[in-house]
Amino acid sequence: MARTDQSPKLILASRSPRRRELLAEAGYRFTVCPPSASAESGDSGGQRPERPEELVARLAHQKAADVVRRVEKGVENRVENRVEKSVEKGLILACDTVAECDGRILGKPSDEIHARQMLETLRGRQHRVFTGLCLWKVPEGKPKTRVAVTTLRMDRLSDEQIDTYITSGGWSGKAGAFGYQDRLGWVHVIEGSESNVVGLPLELLAEMLAEMPEID
């Protein structure tokens, strides 16, 4: 992994506390500037359904573009109930994560019923988690977007186990309705990055940073 003490300052385009934790634990310097709500969703408008890798790449780019526009305009952004002025240069880092099982894309569940449906789909089966990662140098940079993929297997959970997890609320805000970082014990990585399952593939981030031009 790249030496984070020499890495450029990152501008994290995300509201996710898990992504903030991963960056902080890895030693990266960063500020937080979440994208607007409208940038975090939206149909591609294409004639065919998007593959999961296409979806996460598009949404990561879309989130980064939203923050780039606001940073370049010097707009003030509200971060964790404080008003902070956007930095003038750095690397925008935006991500989007979904789970996929047999071609069905599973994003964040909308409610308990939706979360239960996702877990019932995934239990006892292998599935994949995709994260699109976009880095965009500001000012005057060009976006670079890549996708990380991790293969997992979920134990064959009983209805009672699913009930317990749904009641805990641990599914909220998590692609596929589970939080791997919660050390559940019934989701296992078969191949790929563990941090990718949490929402930020640190190995891919390090590779992409090593390819980026230096920023003071």
Q: Name the token pair of 52.
A: 């999961």
Contacts of 100 (CB under 8 A, 6+ apart): 52, 106, 127, 128, 129, 130
3-class SS of residue 149: strand
Q: Is 8 within 8 Å of 14 (Cβ atoms)?
A: no
5 as an active site residue: the answer is no
CA 199 to CA 54: how far, in whole Å? Answer: 16
Of 96, 111, 159, 216, catalytic? 96
Alpha helices in 7-106 (DSSP H): 17-26, 52-72
Give rounded-to-5 percent helix, strand, coil for the chain.
35, 25, 35
Beta-strand ranges (E) seen in the chain are 10-12, 30-32, 76-79, 82-85, 90-101, 104-106, 126-138, 143-154, 187-191
The answer to whether the beta carbons of residues 94 and 36 sit under 8 Å apart is: no
User: Can you tell me whether residue 32 is helix, strand or coil?
Assistant: strand
- Catalytic residue numbers read 96
